[in-house]
Amino acid sequence: EVQLQASGGGLVQTGGSLRLSCAASGFTFDDYAIGWFRQAPGKEREGVSAISRADSSTWYTDSVKGRFTISWDNAKHTLNLQMNNLNPEDTGVYYCAAVWWPYGKIISMSGTTYNYWGQGTQVTVSS
């Protein structure tokens, strides 16, 4: 059974940092894309960042480039998202998700149906 367990959310001031983690189990981690989505109140869910296990390439939505860093800890089977220089527009519930993806480079997160989801973790950035 595939399980994704997210943690690390919280309340931080503008300019602060948070690190999200997602512990993965129940599947072979090769040939999967694993990433983070977020949903702000009243807004649609959007893809934030993902990593392709097939070729270790990464993808970021434009608004977080240069501020967020995604990584995969193979020893702990954990996906991490280091978020720096946070601003109120980063507020939302963050979800980790995975999909079988043997194709390598991720072009977009919105065009792919991620079929494994963890529970959300709340990130709140105050101004």
Whether residue 7 has pLDDT greater than 90? yes
Structure tokens at 4: 């994704």
pLDDT attached to residue 65:
98
Q: How far apart (Å, rounded) are the C-alpha atoms in residues 121 and 127?
A: 20
Q: How far apart (Å, rounded) are the C-alpha atoms in residues 39 and 91?
A: 8
pLDDT attached to residue 108:
85
**Percent of all residues in the chain with a pLDDT value above 90, rounded to a whole number:** 80
Whether residue 16 has pLDDT greater than 90? yes
